[in-house]
Amino acid sequence: MSENYIKIESKANIKNLASIRLCITSFLSEINIHFDELMDIKTALSEAVTNAIDHGYLENDDGIIITEAIIKDDEKIILKVVDFGKGIEDISLAMTPAYTSKPESEHAGMGFTIMESFMDEVIVDSRVDDGTSITMTKTIKKRKSN
């Protein structure tokens, strides 16, 4: 049973989004993983971190986001994105495809749909005024061809 992880603490600033993605995908590239699956994980991660910044903290960048990636036995990937922001009142509504709490800002409302489609499991734990924690897991199926 082997385990490796990386944990990033960052300000809830949308400018950090690309750096968080880059850091986590670079960490995951250490194992043998096909580009397509890495891109799926990268996209799901981007959605979770965007939600934390945009909805959790309403872009008040005093907030803190913890992003963690864990690799178990070189095949199971766990991503955790935690914020201490305003929380989600109605999780099932928030997870409805095409639902957006901010229709005026051109959001597609596809964040959770992408997370659920690209990862094996998505667990959302949220409390109003306390924060939200999203845990996503995926077992690697496609390896690099060589």
Partner 1 sequence: MKYKYLNGKLTIYLEEELDMNSCRTIRGVIDGYIMKFQPYELVLDLSGVEFMDSSGIGLILGRYNLIKLLDAKMTVVNATSNIRRIIELSNIKLECVQYE
Decide: is 72 part of the binding site for partner 1 (CB under 8 A): no
Helix (H, G, I), strand (E, B) or coil at 71: strand
Torsion angle, alpha carbons of 51, 52, 58, 59, to 10? -100
Cα separation, 39 vs 25, whole angstroms: 8
The footprint of partner 1 on residues 5-44 (CB under 8 A) is 14-15, 17-18, 21, 36, 39-40, 42-43
114 binds partner 1 (CB under 8 A): yes
Residue placing its CB nearer to partner 1 in the complex, 97 or 139: 97
95 binds partner 1 (CB under 8 A): no
Question: Rounded to the nearest whole angstrom, what is the least distance from the CB of residue 2 to partner 1 in the complex?
Answer: 29
**58 near partner 1, judged by CB under 8 A:** no
In whole angstroms, give the CA distance from residue 69 to residue 79.
5
Cα–Cα distance, 89 to 126 (Å, whole number): 8
CA dihedral sign, ordered 89, 128, 62, 79: negative
* Binding region for partner 1 (CB under 8 A): 14-15, 17-18, 21, 36, 39-40, 42-43, 46-47, 50, 53-54, 97-98, 106-111, 113-114, 117
